[in-house]
Structure 1
């Protein structure tokens, strides 16, 4: 993929990056077989790259509370509202893999209210979308509704934090014209042979 197809901003050469960033990118490439464009687009600003991925990893890689698939559901729903092509496609692929449901990401991106998810997950996504579109209107009835579905305060915080973080990420991807890698479109759609 050429630089202009990846982003409207210059993409640095891997060998010019600081050691820690280059190592992280090579590790991701080894694991996934390609380098997601977000890594190279953000690598042009090393301090921001480090801060972005530190918070991303803190929110998305937890083994407690919300499942990793539920975390990805929040990203896909938030990114769909924000019309972020990169994040809907990239995190849709991750959601398909983590949930082991090839149709789920598309359902959530188009209309999560009709997706094949639980009532608890719909309440979770209702709250995530409200954080995305009307966070100034969040109040006690929202917290009571989530608690009624068994969501803890820590899980509620995570829903809001993931939605808010990806609101920022969506805006970066949108203004930079960050394009999803072709590989994301097919990941998780068919069972592995």
Structure 2
């Protein structure tokens, strides 16, 4: 069973650098792996086989096992290359811009690494994460980034012209719908991660990619 970190202890971790290593993975802690239901235990096993560790976002969400299962299932289907109408670079660009607009440091760390990998350019990926408005983007990239940011900050401002702009740049109606879906997915995932205050994995800072396709 999980244990809840006392609020005072959490505050101390944030205030005292000497105990930063004891900072909790999330506000609700993490579950006892031995008590995970089989469908979530298999997800843990799969991540260990593929990446060598269970990322903190998965452990944090698994405090309610079906929350973790739903998010992983949705994500894997959404980012399946053979199903997508977008390139890997386009999907990761949307993920980074949306997460940055939300201030979700966990997802920004994660997907900036993924964007760097597909672009083959770590500096460019990091610059996009810091503020895409200051990066010279190709027209398609700029349109994807701008729409993702607006969907995140002010969805009601998006009109027919915005969608037609992507169509004029060569995106099909199916692809435009997927752009909106990916950004909407990360708005969902970002909010969970932010509210639970999920601690970024050490692998982010070691320069290790935490996910590949």
Q: Report how far residue 176 of structure 1 moved.
A: 0.7
> Which runs of 5 or more residues in structure 1 are unaligned?
189-193
Picking from 33, 54, 65, the partner of 2:73 is: 54
Aligned-partner SS, 1:105: helix
- 2:39–2:69 contact (8 Å) kept in structure 1: no
Shift of 1:135: 0.9
Equivalences for residues 75-114 of structure 1 within 5 A:
75-114=95-134
Q: CA deviation at 1:3?
A: 7.4
Aligned residue for 2:4? none
Look up the match of 1:142: 162
Q: TM-score, normalised by structure 2?
A: 0.81
Following superposition, the deviation at residue 165 of structure 1 comes to 1.2
Change (3 A) 1:52 1:109: same
Deviations along 1:60-106, one digit per CA (max 9) or x if unpaired, are: 22323111221111111001010001100011122222332212321
For 1:101 and 1:52, how far apart are their aligned partners in 2?
Answer: 29
Task: State the Cα distance separating 1:13 from its structure 2 match.
Answer: 2.1
Correspondence for 1:155:
175
Match of 1:17 among 14, 36, 39: 36
Pairing 1:8-47 to 2, within 5 Å after superposition: 8-47=27-66
CA distance in 2, matches of 1:12, 1:62: 31
Of structures 1 and 2, the one scoring higher in RCO (CA 8 A, sep 6+) is 1
- Asked if residue 129 in structure 1 is aligned to residue 149 in structure 2, the reply is yes
Distance in 1 (alpha carbons) for counterparts of 2:22 and 2:48: 18
Query: Mind listing any 5+ residue stretches in structure 2 that lack a counterpart?
Result: 1-19
Query: Higher mean Cα deviation, 177-186 or 56-65?
Result: 56-65
Give the total of aligned pairs.
Answer: 188
Contact 2:96 2:108 in 1 (8 A): yes
Q: Given the alignment, which residue of 183, 187, 193 partners 2:203?
A: 183
Computed over aligned residues only, the root mean square deviation of the Cα atoms, in angstroms, reads 1.9
Are 2:119 and 2:125, in contact at CA under 8 Å, matched by a contact in 1?
A: no
1:8·1:176 contact (CA, 8 Å) conserved in 2?
A: yes
Note the C-alpha offset of 1:129: 0.8
Pair 3,165 (structure 1): closer, same or farther in 2 beyond 3 Å: farther
Question: Which of 70, 94, 106 is the equivalent residue of 1:74?
Answer: 94
Counterpart-to-counterpart distance in 1, 2:162 and 2:179: 12
Are 1:42 and 1:49, in contact at CA under 8 Å, matched by a contact in 2? yes
